[in-house]
Homo-oligomer: A and B are copies of this chain.
Amino acid sequence: MHCYFNGAIMPVEQASVNINDLGLLRGYGLFDYFRTYNGVPFQWDGYWARFVRSAEVLHLRVPLTQAQTAEILTELHRLSGQPDVAFRFVLTGGYSPDSVSVVEPNWLIIAENLPKDNPEGRVRGIKVLPFEFVRDLPELKSTNYLHMIRLAAEMKSQGAADLLYYKDGEVSELTRSNFFIFKGDTLVTADKNILHGITRKVVLELAEKEFKVEVRPMLVSELEEADEAFTTSTTKWVMPVVQIGRQIVGDGKPGPRTLKLLAQFEALVNGYGK
């Protein structure tokens, strides 16, 4: 696989950053991740718009236009020799003379093999662990994924696939995906303290055709009343959540409404770009 780094395309193994990069020294960086279906980057306009907004929050100049970036994606895809690929963006504060000042951002675009999509999780559902936390600048897809990595062993020991963040009585999101519950035919998802996921947006559009949709603060106390729950992300699609800590959701199996949304999303991506 190849990557793009500050103007050049090179094999991933040959790419490296100097040690005065502010992403490395100070965690000053943005992240994004998306993939192609049928060779076409899925919802590329949405990912790009979010990336540009995030860069503005960090006062980082995006070095290329969307059209220039699209050309690079095409070339990285071609070099992969694969029908479909994933792309990882990392935009950092760049090399700093004093480990504080931003001079010029560093921009990495990495082509990767498609993620393992955990088909078993989609069939059986996953368990998540409640964790009291709210991300700093939650609308920003920063490179800060401290808890996800720090608590990986704890999750594994409890048979859990992820953390469910809550704070001050409200549920927000998982470490890198959005969270939904069904109460009867009403679908609820948080409106704030979340990353505005592209898959979340697509799933909400699908759901609005059949269900009552409420985008509003989700209370921790509502979790007990949930008939179904699921999470959405670029890699997870619509992934049923069947256990939250010790609490079983519904009957402990992926719910029918969740599976319906999953089937609709799967049909959408399978036909994407065709």
Contacts and interface: CB of A to CB of B under 8 A. Distances in A.
A65 interface: no
Chain copies in the assembled complex: 2
Nearest to A28: B149
Given A19-B12, A110-B19, A150 B24 contact: no
Interface in A73-99: 88, 90, 92-93, 99
Identify which of A58, A88, A136 gathers the most chain B CB atoms within 10 Å of its CB: A136
Interface in A8-35: 12-13, 15-29, 31
Interface of A: 3, 5, 12-13, 15-29, 31, 57-59, 88, 90, 92-93, 99-102, 108, 110, 133, 136-137, 142-146, 148-150, 152-153
Given A12-B20, A16-B16, 16 more contacts: A16-B18, A17-B17, A17-B24, A19-B108, A22-B149, A25-B31, A25-B88, A25-B143, A26-B146, A26-B148, A26-B149, A27-B146, A28-B149, A28-B150, A59-B153, A144-B146
